Amino acid sequence: MYEHDVIVVGAGGAGLRAAVAAHEAGADVAMVTKLHPVRSHTGAAEGGINAALQEGDDWELHAYDTMKGSDYLGDAPAVETLAQDAPEETINLEHWGMPFSREEDGTVSQRPFGGLSYPRTTYAGAETGHHLLHTMYEQVVKRGIQVYDEWYVMDLATTDEDDPNDRECHGVVAYDVQSGQIEGFKANDGVVLATGGPGQAFDHTTNAVSCTGDGQAMAYRAGVPLEDMEFIQFHPTSLPSTGVLISEGVRGEGGILYNNEGERFMFEHGYANNSGELASRDVVARAELTEVNEGRGVDDEYVHLDMRHLGEERIMDRLENILHLAEDFEGVDGLVEPMPVKPGQHYAMGGIEVNENGQTCIDGLYAAGECACVSVHGGNRLGGNALPELIVFGRRAGYHAAGGDLGEAEIRTGYGDDVEDETDTEFPVAPGAAGLGTSGGVAADGGVTADAEGVLERHVETARERVDGLLDKDDGVQHSEIRAKLQQAMTDYVNVFRTEDGVKKALKIIRECREEYQDVYVDDPSRTFNTDLQQTIETRNLIDVAETIALGALVRDEFRGAHWRKEHQERKDDEWLKHTLVSWDGGEPSIFYRPVILEGQNKTYEPKERSY
């Protein structure tokens, strides 16, 4: 058994920032990550960090833009915290040596991004995330923070009182990928989940293979509700063949979208008469697919993104990375021809329900970054708002977990007297657990084991049995088959355009995946670097998370932000100014709602029509 004050799970931007903050608050902190920190998917972020740094800009403008972009589903305390803390956190990164792009006077550069009223996206070329990740890792090395790299966390050591609000988290169970050894990691003060998004639930995604929603699934099964999971961002410009991301920075610098008739459709077909290509991401993604569906797509699949008119010098200065990506992954020279692009799954606005201090409803369990839902992004995340979320809320979660004081949170978490139960939706199949066994259900002991070490040991034992079961089984279904089926169902039916029938079909297929998973086995018998085993466990996580996405997509019968429903073409503020929460409830999920908080420090954000 290993023991530390604070255990951070995941070592991307949010995890690294949380670890540094916990360390600075005096805690003995360790990071446990299934990759090595520099492999984390934060490194693929291209665009930049929104922060109101300049005179003429203001955190209140940033907060307003973010709330509007969220389609009024962000919680004001979270949104305002992001906007207020982002400048200091961004400057912090600069002091830690991050190589931002620079203006003539030596100050950091900022550029326009979609949905922003001021050019406040602070960037380092078109590889901002790479620089943020490496700079943060340098700070972790500098502080001598212990990193358990290539240790895969497979369970949270939580107690199992009936009411999740009464539960406590005492650590995590992880296995060493290289040796197969399974160990408990005791956390005396807190566990911070910073495990990233669930992009691999979809077939066409900009996300890394490692983005399998592990933290979300583990927190969910431990009793923490997942919030607003139906809100999935589809990035308008991913390369068709691989899903590799082409940064919004291309449009920010003046790149233009054309259909197969050479029309600048964002204007010519009236999708966004003011902002055109720089409308919010959900608006642009739907516009592109509408063009394709109406026969104006190139090869019936994608549209063109043209940046040639920007000139080689400007492209080389600010977007050089894009040239390499288009060349290496699509065989297109962005200097001489337009680049093919189509929407790809990119980001999960929803996630583990937390308050603005990163706390979940389980004592000692925190979450930050894409795996969490504070909620800052509500129905739609603005480009350039993910990276500041990592550092702002990563810091807060790490600091609070280490015992730092951030004041009382305004956002409430967990089931309580302020929520409303879902009552009237018919589900095509019952969601939730399909038996326990090797499928990773949480074994209950009715609160018999009281002390922290006992709880941890019990979870370690369950994890060992689970792994033994998977390795000892000689035949059955392989995870890759189940995963492919799940991904295809999500891309077919829970994509940019959603229908009631489609989402119900998805839920049925997810159910099938669950049943098939009952018979899953790991063919590779080795304990050494068994990626087959790891991916098999990840696939179970994907099933759980995908189901919450589809459940949310079914119950929310309105059109808000990234969530579009064919039968419900308007935003229903009377009914739906509330968050969707899905709770595992020991294997029989339930859904409830919590009202969105629109009252800010100085004003109330009145929902307005969202036009760009």
Please give the positions annotated as active site: 281
CA 532 distance to own-chain centroid: 24
Among 56, 104, 309, 426, binds other proteins (CB under 8 A): 104
By rule CB under 8 A, what string of x and - marks binding of each residue 448-477 to other proteins? ---------------------------x--
| Residue 429 binds to other proteins (criterion: CB under 8 A) | no
Q: How many residues does the chain have?
A: 612
Among 30, 35, 224, 226, binds other proteins (CB under 8 A): 35
- Taking alpha carbons only, the member of 239, 40, 241, 251 closest to residue 150 is 40
CA trace torsion 170, 173, 176, 182 (10° rounding)? 120
| Residue 566 binds to other proteins (criterion: CB under 8 A) | no
Q: Which stretch binds other proteins (CB under 8 A): 21-29, 87-95, 217-225, 574-582?
A: 87-95
- Are the C-beta atoms of residues 593 and 420 closer than 8 Å to each other? yes
Closest distance to other proteins from the beta carbon of 180 (Å): 9
| Residue 539 binds to other proteins (criterion: CB under 8 A) | no
Closest distance to other proteins from the beta carbon of 285 (Å): 20
Q: How far apart are CA 468 and CA 359, in angstroms?
A: 33
Among 16, 23, 25, 40, binds other proteins (CB under 8 A): 40
Q: How far apart are CA 210 and CA 229, in angstroms?
A: 19
Q: Would you call 245 helix, strand, or coil by DSSP?
A: strand
| Residue 95 binds to other proteins (criterion: CB under 8 A) | yes
Q: Is the dihedral of CA 411, 416, 422, 427 positive or negative?
A: positive
Element (H, E) at 582: strand 578-583
**Where on the phi/psi map is residue 367: left (φ > 0), alpha (ψ -120 to 50), or beta?**
beta
- Taking alpha carbons only, the member of 353, 315, 358 closest to residue 333 is 315
Q: Which stretch binds other proteins (CB under 8 A): 25-33, 101-109, 356-364, 443-451?
A: 101-109
Closest distance to other proteins from the beta carbon of 86 (Å): 11
- Taking alpha carbons only, the member of 596, 571, 562 closest to residue 581 is 596
Closest distance to other proteins from the beta carbon of 110 (Å): 11
Closest distance to other proteins from the beta carbon of 186 (Å): 25
Q: What is the DSSP letter of 209?
A: T
| Residue 105 binds to other proteins (criterion: CB under 8 A) | yes
Given the complex with other proteins, which of 133 and 452 has the nearer CB atom? 133
**How many CB atoms lie under 10 A from the CB of residue 535?**
18
Given the complex with other proteins, which of 97 and 595 has the nearer CB atom? 97
| Residue 106 binds to other proteins (criterion: CB under 8 A) | yes
3-state DSSP helix/strand/coil % of the chain, to nearest 5: 40, 20, 40
Given the complex with other proteins, which of 143 and 572 has the nearer CB atom? 143
Q: Which stretch binds other proteins (CB under 8 A): 21-29, 56-64, 239-247, 541-549?
A: 239-247
Among 525, 588, 595, 603, binds other proteins (CB under 8 A): 525
Among 464, 473, 527, 568, binds other proteins (CB under 8 A): 527
Among 353, 532, 538, 547, binds other proteins (CB under 8 A): 532
Given the complex with other proteins, which of 239 and 411 has the nearer CB atom? 239
Terminus-to-terminus CA distance in the chain, angstroms?
Answer: 54
Instruction: Give me the DSSP letters along 342-386.
Output: EEEEEEES-EEE--TTSB-SSBTEEE-GGGEESSSSTT-PPTT-H
Going by C-beta distance under 8 Å and a sequence separation of 6 or more, which residues neighbour residue 215? 9, 10, 193, 194, 195, 196, 352, 367, 371
| Residue 181 binds to other proteins (criterion: CB under 8 A) | no
Q: How far apart are CA 34 and CA 519, in angstroms?
A: 25
Closest distance to other proteins from the beta carbon of 109 (Å): 9
Q: What is the DSSP letter of 334?
A: T
Closest distance to other proteins from the beta carbon of 209 (Å): 5
Closest distance to other proteins from the beta carbon of 472 (Å): 14
| Residue 53 binds to other proteins (criterion: CB under 8 A) | yes
Closest distance to other proteins from the beta carbon of 440 (Å): 19
Given the complex with other proteins, which of 176 and 453 has the nearer CB atom? 176
CA 242 distance to own-chain centroid: 20
Q: Which stretch binds other proteins (CB under 8 A): 350-358, 397-405, 450-458, 523-531?
A: 523-531
Encoded amino acid at 35, one letter: L
| Residue 241 binds to other proteins (criterion: CB under 8 A) | yes
| Residue 178 binds to other proteins (criterion: CB under 8 A) | yes
The radius of gyration of the chain from alpha carbons, rounded to an integer in Å, stands at 23
Given the complex with other proteins, which of 175 and 271 has the nearer CB atom? 175
Closest distance to other proteins from the beta carbon of 400 (Å): 19
Instruction: Give me the DSSP letters along 554-571.
Output: HH--S-BTTB-BTTB-S-
| Residue 324 binds to other proteins (criterion: CB under 8 A) | yes
Among 145, 245, 402, 433, binds other proteins (CB under 8 A): 245
Given the complex with other proteins, which of 236 and 276 has the nearer CB atom? 236
Going by C-beta distance under 8 Å and a sequence separation of 6 or more, which residues neighbour residue 229? 348, 350, 351, 545, 548, 549, 551, 552, 580, 582
- Are the C-beta atoms of residues 514 and 543 closer than 8 Å to each other? yes
Q: How far apart are CA 552 and CA 570, in angstroms?
A: 17
Closest distance to other proteins from the beta carbon of 422 (Å): 33
By rule CB under 8 A, what string of x and - marks binding of each residue 126-165 to other proteins? -x--xx--x---xx-xx-----------------------
Q: Which of residues 325-344 bind other proteins (CB under 8 A)?
A: 325, 328-331
Among 70, 81, 159, 210, binds other proteins (CB under 8 A): 210
Q: How far apart are CA 32 and CA 21, in angstroms?
A: 16
Residue numbers of the site for other proteins (CB under 8 A)? 35-36, 38-41, 43-44, 53, 87-89, 91-92, 94-97, 99-108, 125, 127, 130-131, 134, 138-139, 141-142, 178, 208-210, 241-245, 324-325, 328-331, 475, 478, 480-481, 484-485, 488, 522-532
